[in-house]
Structure 1
Amino acid sequence: MEVLEDALDRIATLDGQLNAFCTLDIEGARAQATEVDRRIACGEQVGPLAGVPVGVKDLIATRGLLTTYGSRLYRRHVPSEDDVVVERLRGAGAVIVGKTNTSEFGYGAFGHNALFPTTRNPWDTGRTPGGSSAGSGAAVAANMVPLALGSDGGGSVRLPAALCGVYGIKPSWGRVPVYPGCRDDTLPGISSWESLEHIGPITRTVADAAIALSCMTGPTPRDRASLPSEFAAWAIAPPETLRGKHIAFSADLGWAVVDRKVRLACETAARRIEKTYGCTVEFAQPEIGDYGAAFETMVGMETDREGLRRMAAEQGVELKDWLARLLERKWTADEFTAAQFARKRVVNATWRFMERYDFFLTPTTACTAFDLELEGPANIEGQAVASNAWVAFSALGNFTGLPTASVPIGDQSASALPIGLQIMGRHLDDLGVLALSAAVESMYPPRLPPVSSARGWAT
């Protein structure tokens, strides 16, 4: 209960500035914490997350707790069941504090929607925290909770982790089951992204993410893509196991426009890894080209466009931003099939590339956090770019399903905006990604953002 009250005090102090949480369940959290304390006092067995305060992204179902998916279409929606991952966290003793803010249905890498105040970046409240797991990234960065859940269909765990200076990992596709989420046919909007969606933890440390994953993974009949429990424990291998590993690094995938500071920070990190841990780093990237159009088309194909239009018309609700453009576009069957085959080409090029390398490093984002209300920067390095150009690196992990994480690097000064290094591993090598993440973390210790009331907090 003391841990929970400390978290609630921090939320009360900071969330008026950051808007990380859209719905709090204070009494429910206190009841959960009381039960954990009772079990400990009675000498009963408790789980590995007993008493840990957790924020849950508002795209992830929580039984009996308002879950809006960031949309006015679901503004009064209270699920009758937990998502599988929430059910498992509760079983491990975690205390669900509340729901964290997201863009509408996650269709946008930012933190604003028509229901709740816009989520702000703890490093600079005039800048975006990224998204769509915006509230989860901001809540962990500001140390309101040590663990928050995000969902990731195109980078939505890793992007806010990078811009908020925390750790985020999208495990291999199928490691963490998803249901109801993108697999419930009765939920237009949320029943999308089925072949792309992942759920992953956002934490302040790699070790915390590993503990969370140990509780979240494993098969269930509710998700036909869920993987068997392969690991006895999600232990982080010591750094000496990285010696001799072959690592590829690309600052731009051969075509992306990347901010000079981001490019330099990521290249410096790659060279430090090589020197510190005895790895071999080569400048290389898979021959995949710009796959952004194919990715957008796949999202369009997996969206219940008819169901969303019907709900919007029935309720008189106007859908906005990227989602609105997706619904307005006139797609053809040929475009959908072409995107599927483009994805196959990207997947095949990537696995062939990864046969030569143990890991693939890139920036997580092409720039640091930009102005709050934008969907993306208007230009990078003086070059005009599309609004989604800053997310050039992230969707590769969703197309391929490969385990991919973002770990903070770069300038360690108190006011410097965070930069994320993206680490992609081979098929199902989640433990390898955690090991390399921990090695990078040891070179760039976690920082707290310069929010005035956060100064002096223990990590």
Structure 2
Amino acid sequence: MDVKEMHAEIECAETSALVASAPPYQLDALKAPRLAGWPLKAMAWAMTTPGIGSLLSVILFKQNQMSLPTEFANRLPLKFIPMAYPDTGRPHSNESESGVPLDTWVQLQQSEKRQLSSQSDFRYWTTGDFVQRYKDGRATPTTVIKSVLGAIDKLNPTLKAFTAVNAEDALAQAEASTKRYQAGAPLGPLDGIPIAVKDEVLGISVQCLAGLTNRPTQVDVAGYMTTFGTLFVKEVPSCDDPCITRLRAAGAIIIGKTNMHELGLGTTGCNLHHGTARNPYDSARYPGGSSSGSAASVASGLVPIAVACDGGGSIRIPSALTGQFGLKATFDRIAHKHGFTYSVGHVGPIASSLADLAIAFAVMSGVAALPNTDAPLPRLKIGVFRPHFENADTEIVQRCREVLDTLARHHGAEIVDITIPFLNIMTKAHVGIISSEILRFVERYPNPFSELSPELRISLSLTKQFTAQDLLAAQQVRAFATDQIKKIFKTVDIMATPVTSVTAHQVPNDVATAGESDVSTTSKIMTFAPLANLVGHPSISIPVGCDSSGMPIGMQFEADFWKEDILVHVAAVVEKSVSNKLRRRPKEFISVLSD
């Protein structure tokens, strides 16, 4: 036995003993009073006032046991993973060997026409519907984009999904696409498809005209301004983000930038600066966040695909709460310019159908093949950490159990009990990492706190309580979490949970003037999301019906690094056997294609 093997054996023994001592399942919701209106403003003032703010931060820090990761790390072997980049190497799955080449896969999917009908069998338009109409002459990209722009003008005052739309540029893109179809030479699978982009993606290189009318304000240089949902960030890049470059190369038409929770530090979509995005299933409710506008733009039928970002569930949560599909791929599998959540953030698609989600993922990541979703699902082992799985509202748990039953009874899946030790500590480590990365980004700007909402002033003031030791300890916890997840995926193919523990909740009347701070609700919404960000493995959100109030429920599946192909196949099966039977037409919806 060499020295390396000996150290590994000692480390394994130490870790095994620690895991054996893990307490029963526990996942603490963050504790702090819900605040809105003048009490929220007063708290924000206090938190940013020297002396008072430090005292309050210490109290809240201790109340929420945020030092647990540091205390736990003292029991861990000294192993660090400063970034979440997986050390498993580039894709070693068999997607390229057994998968269907992307061009062929797209042709198969886009040949299946889906028609809008009654609410009982409601279907969204897919990219296949757009492409078929372009090819047979029933529509052109130009007529469709005009329809989309008109629909945005009608719905956006209510939904506030978009913060910037460049009608002139979108129409210019559409004209170019129309000419390509007339010449029989479309660029790729997304030619002529309208796509929205979250206001966190750094770079859409066009001459931006901010606003939703024909009299917009000119931005000083070329490019859509990226604000991250704030007033003080005004990034105007000179070139496209890599994922946008790939979408354009496939012919996608960029419609505009979508709304988000300020700095991505929240799960509702509340935004004082750009307006709070609303849920198309009930405009009195939040759509979820932080990719609120991207989810709302897809759910309302304005676009079939939107680009979103996910540092702690921000693709999957709004997808679930608005009844859409969302994919957070393996860390950095989709190349992009990292904004502020450097080691936990991902960019990825939200789509109204699994096929469109898969196509967008393939284009954005450069994947050459996708799984044959017409083939039977392999006999998968699905890991379920039962006390964690059941940590949600009864209707959500019941619906997700029914999906597992369907996969077991009709598709040969085996449900396997698993345990994720010290999940509570992993979740708190994620909080320390993501909030510290956002604070580091914010402090690049002069006097940013004066232009933040009260909610963000409180959150980021509390973040200053984390020390260098706390952040190093959080990385040790990340290393431990990564090892535990790798071990789990040696025994199961995928893990299953709900996406959220609650469905979309009402936008309170008292948030209009100052927003709200409701960390307890935020942490409940995030119950199942952070682990995949902390570790970096892929995760997908799938719509699986609605609760008794008609609000969508989402189910999450997680896979090993680079195994997005398994998630796509499982999602396709769930879509056909569950989602399509239970989907309902949103109250705020416009068909941008004619029947």
TM-score bracket, shorter-length normalisation: 0.7 to 0.9
CA distance in 2, matches of 1:285, 1:443: 28
CA offset digits 1:348-383 (Å, max 9, x no partner): 11110111101100000011001225899979xxxx
1:402/1:203 CA distance change after superposition, 3 Å: same
1:177/1:100 CA distance change after superposition, 3 Å: same
- The answer to whether residue 417 in structure 2 is matched with residue 276 in structure 1 is no
1:450/1:121 CA distance change after superposition, 3 Å: same
Contact residue 107 and residue 323 of structure 1 kept, 8 A: no
Contact residue 122 and residue 449 of structure 1 kept, 8 A: no
Q: State the secondary structure of the residue aligned to 2:232.
A: helix
CA distance in 1, matches of 2:540, 2:307: 14
- From 313, 316, 322, give the equivalent of 1:155: 313
| Higher Rg | 2
Partner of 1:217: 365
Partner of 1:73: 232
1:120/1:282 CA distance change after superposition, 3 Å: same
- The answer to whether residue 497 in structure 2 is matched with residue 356 in structure 1 is no
CA distance in 1, matches of 2:536, 2:251: 29
Task: Write the letter of the residue equivalent to 2:540.
Answer: A
Contact residue 262 and residue 419 of structure 1 kept, 8 A: yes
Q: State the secondary structure of the residue aligned to 1:37.
A: helix
Partner of 2:388: 253
Partner of 1:436: 570
CA distance in 2, matches of 1:69, 1:208: 26
Where do 1:354-393 residues align within 5 Å? 354-372=489-507, 385=520, 387-393=522-528
Where do 1:243-322 residues align within 5 Å? 244-250=379-385, 252-253=387-388, 257-290=391-424, 291-305=426-440, 308-309=442-443, 311-313=445-447, 316-322=450-456
Between 200-209 and 108-117, the greater mean CA deviation after superposition: 108-117
- The answer to whether residue 285 in structure 2 is matched with residue 127 in structure 1 is yes
Contact residue 232 and residue 448 of structure 2 kept, 8 A: no
- From 36, 48, 51, give the equivalent of 2:177: 36
Contact residue 319 and residue 541 of structure 2 kept, 8 A: yes
- The answer to whether residue 370 in structure 2 is matched with residue 234 in structure 1 is yes
Partner of 2:188: 47
Structure 2-normalised TM-score? 0.67
CA distance in 2, matches of 1:3, 1:78: 28
Query: What is the deviation of 1:268?
Result: 1.3
CA offset digits 1:427-453 (Å, max 9, x no partner): 211111000011111122343443266
Q: How many residues align?
A: 427
Unaligned runs of 5+ in 1: 183-191, 219-230, 380-384
Partner of 1:221: none
CA distance in 2, matches of 1:452, 1:214: 30
Higher relative contact order (CA 8 A, sep 6+): 2
- From 294, 309, 332, give the equivalent of 1:174: 332
CA distance in 1, matches of 2:567, 2:525: 23
Contact residue 502 and residue 524 of structure 2 kept, 8 A: no
Task: Write the letter of the residue equivalent to 1:16.
Answer: P
CA distance in 1, matches of 2:480, 2:534: 10
Unaligned runs of 5+ in 2: 1-141, 206-222
Partner of 2:44: none
Partner of 1:82: 240
Partner of 2:560: 426
Contact residue 162 and residue 365 of structure 1 kept, 8 A: yes
CA distance in 1, matches of 2:434, 2:171: 39
- From 470, 476, 482, give the equivalent of 1:341: 476
Task: Write the letter of the residue equivalent to 1:199.
Answer: V
Higher helix share: 2
CA distance in 2, matches of 1:408, 1:458: 25
Contact residue 22 and residue 100 of structure 1 kept, 8 A: yes
Query: What is the deviation of 1:343?
Result: 1.3
Q: State the secondary structure of the residue aligned to 2:152.
A: helix
Contact residue 166 and residue 203 of structure 1 kept, 8 A: yes
CA distance in 1, matches of 2:554, 2:502: 10
Task: Write the letter of the residue equivalent to 1:345.
Answer: F
Between 324-333 and 416-425, the greater mean CA deviation after superposition: 324-333
Query: What is the deviation of 1:11?
Result: 1.6
Between 133-142 and 39-48, the greater mean CA deviation after superposition: 39-48
Q: State the secondary structure of the residue aligned to 1:392.
A: coil
1:353/1:93 CA distance change after superposition, 3 Å: same
CA distance in 2, matches of 1:323, 1:193: 18
Partner of 2:157: 16
CA offset digits 1:82-127 (Å, max 9, x no partner): 1111111111110000011001221111212232111000111111
Partner of 1:394: 529
Instruction: Give percent identity, aligned residues only.
Output: 31
Task: Write the letter of the residue equivalent to 2:420.
Answer: P
